[in-house]
Amino acid sequence: MMILIAFFQADAYHTERLNMVRSQIENRGIKNPLVLEAMRKVPRHLLVPEKQKANAYEDRPMSIGDGQTISQPYIVAHMTDIIKPNKGMKVLEIGTGSGYQAAVLAEIVDQVFTIEIVENLGKKAKADLEKLGYKNVFVKIGDGYQGWPSEAPFDAILVTAAAEQIPQPLIDQLKEGGRMVIPVGKEGAVQELILIEKVKGKVKTTNLGSVRFVPFTRND
C-alpha cells in the first residue's frame, strides 16, 4: 500500500513537472532541447523544504530557509540557456542554494562546481544532490567571490545572487570563448542580468534585462 501511494505521488509530480516545462518554459520561448530535457528530469519537489513540496512546480521563487530562495523555474531555464550548455563542459556556479540549478546543469554538462556561503544550505544541498545520485556536482562552502582557482578555468560561470560589481576573480577564471551570466545591481533595486563573453582575451558585456535576485554577500 505504501509503495503504491508513493508510486502515484511520484507520478503526480512527474505530470506537474511536464506541465511546468510546457507552460512556463517552452511557452516563454526557450527552445534548447538539452535545457528542456534537463528541466523535465530534475525532481524540483525533492530539493525544496518538505512543507513546500506540493508547491514546488509553481511559477515563482520559493523560500528555502536562512533568508534564501530557490529561483523560479523559468529563471533557472533562462540562465542555463544563456550559457549554451553542452556535454564536456566544466561549469562553476556561485550560490548553490537548494542545489536545483546545479542539478539542472549536471544533467547536461560534464562537471559542476558550486559554492554556497551559508553553511546550512551548502550542507543540505550536498546531501540532497548525493541522495539524488548526482556524482558530477562538487559543493564547497565559502565565499564565491574568489571563485574556485584550483579547478579553473571554466567553460561557463553562473552567478545566482546579485552582485554590485562583477567579481574580477570570476572573469579571470572564465575560459577563452567562455560565457558567464550574473545579475548585477543593489539589493531591492532593479538588477540587470549581464552576459559576459571572453573573446580573444577581451571581455564583451551584454545586458539581458531586469531581474530580481537575493544579494551576493561577503564573509567579513
Catalytic center residues = 71
Segment near ligand SAH (CB under 6 A), from 4-12, 25-33, 110-118, 201-209? 110-118
Among candidate residues 83, 134, 78, the one with its CA nearest the CA of residue 111: 134
**Contact between residue 125 and residue 139 where contact means Cβ atoms under 8 Å apart:** yes
* The binder of ligand SAH chosen from 73, 85, 95, 147 (CB under 6 A): 95
**Contact between residue 19 and residue 68 where contact means Cβ atoms under 8 Å apart:** no
Binding of ligand SAH by 187 (CB under 6 A)? no
* The binder of ligand SAH chosen from 89, 91, 106, 118 (CB under 6 A): 118
Q: Which three cell numbers stand for residue 206?
A: 551584454
Segment near ligand SAH (CB under 6 A), from 31-39, 95-103, 172-180, 187-195? 95-103
| Strand blocks (E) in the chain | 62-65, 68-70, 90-94, 111-116, 137-141, 154-159, 174-184, 191-199, 202-211
How many residues touch ligand SAH under the rule CB under 6 A: the total is 24
Q: Which residues bind to ligand SAH, rule: CB under 6 A?
A: 68-71, 94-95, 97-98, 100-101, 115-118, 121, 143-145, 160-161, 214, 216-218
